[in-house]
Every structure is written in structure tokens, then in C-alpha cells.
Amino acid sequence: MSARYRLRPLVADRMTPAQREVVGQLAASPRGGVVGPYDAWLRQPDLAAAALRLGDYCRFASGLPRDLAELVILVAGRFWDAPFEFSAHAPLARQAGVPETVIEALRTGEVPSFEDQHAQVVYDVVSEWYAHHEIDDELYERARRLLGEEHLVDVVAIAGYYAMVCMTLNVFRVPLPDGVADPFTGP
């Protein structure tokens, strides 16, 4: 994938009031500014504002335990071959307790091995959904039984939101931050 960003950079003094409002919301958020897909989404400030609210829920407020949420995000980053997303969330996944062996397996495109049945079912749900656009009844029942309906809804929401994030990053070729290596081309 070419590292050349496909959009012209936004210029602060040429932004609409709606764009400036979202930029202010991003600056006040835990993100600290316009990062990742938000520069692209700001072309449609209503989309950027809605994505910010959904992203805040998916990343910071869902009921899903943090390690499982970060696992969902890493599976999305790897499935969509989005190096920006994967490199941004691998350290967060480590901090949340996702085992290094799982992170490394995902990074290299291998199927990870899980000791935790909750992590296994989260991986299985997201992987099967992305690959086949649905999950079978047995997997659905296993996920519902292990996670509960509320957490299963969160898994689907987080995976859906981060698919949109990854697609945006890839379509517009959002470059990795300076000094960050592509996690998928390294050893």
C-alpha cells in the first residue's frame, strides 16, 4: 500500500464552523486531537461527530472487558490489513492484558491460541463474521452463553465500528505516524 495520503490536508482557517467544532471535541477527548480516520471524516463533519460519539462508546464506555475490546480491535486491524490501526492498538492491547503471543500471532497473520475461553469466542465471532458475513448458530449460542447478550452486542458494535475505521484508513491511505514501522512488514 502506498504511504501517500489521498486527501489534501485540512487548513484550520478554511474549516467550516462545524469542522472546527468537531476538532475541538477531538482535542478535548482522550485522543487529544485529529488522529487516524478523523481527518478524512472531517470532510463530513456530521459523520465525524457521530463517529466520535460511537467511537467513544466502543473504545471507552462499552461493558466489554478492556482486553476483549482490544482483541476485537486487533482482529479488525489485521483482517483489514490496516497497519495504522494495528500499530496504534497493539500497545493498548498489551496494557489491557492481551497476551503477547496473541498479539504476535495476529500481527503475523497466524491463528492465535487462547487460554481464556472468552477471548477464544470473541476471536471466533469476529473472525467468522468478517470472513463469512455471519456466524453460525453453534458459535452464536456459545458466544451468547459465555459473553451474554449485552457483551455480544458490544463485540459486534466494536467490530463494525473498527471495520469502518480500518476501511477509512486504507481507502484514504492514512500514513503511519512518523517513526512507527508497519507492523505487518517487519520480522
CA geometry: angle at 127 spanning 123 and 128, to 5°?
115
Q: What is the pLDDT of residue 9?
A: 84
Strand ranges (E), the chain: none
Residues of the chain with confidence (pLDDT) below 50: 1-2
CB 143, CB 135: distance < 8 Å: yes
Q: What is the pLDDT of residue 4?
A: 86
CATH 1.20.1290.10 fits 64-171, yes or no: yes
Q: What is the pLDDT of residue 1?
A: 47
Q: What is the pLDDT of residue 182?
A: 94
- Domains of the chain: which residue ranges? 15-60, 64-171
Long-range Cβ pairs for the range 166-169 (8 Å, 24+): 166/76, 166/77, 166/79, 166/80, 166/82, 166/85, 167/80, 168/37, 168/40, 168/41, 169/36, 169/37, 169/82, 169/84, 169/85
Beta carbons within 8 Å of 173's beta carbon, 6+ residues apart: 1, 2, 3, 4, 5, 6
Residue 123 CA to residue 101 CA, distance in Å, equals 14
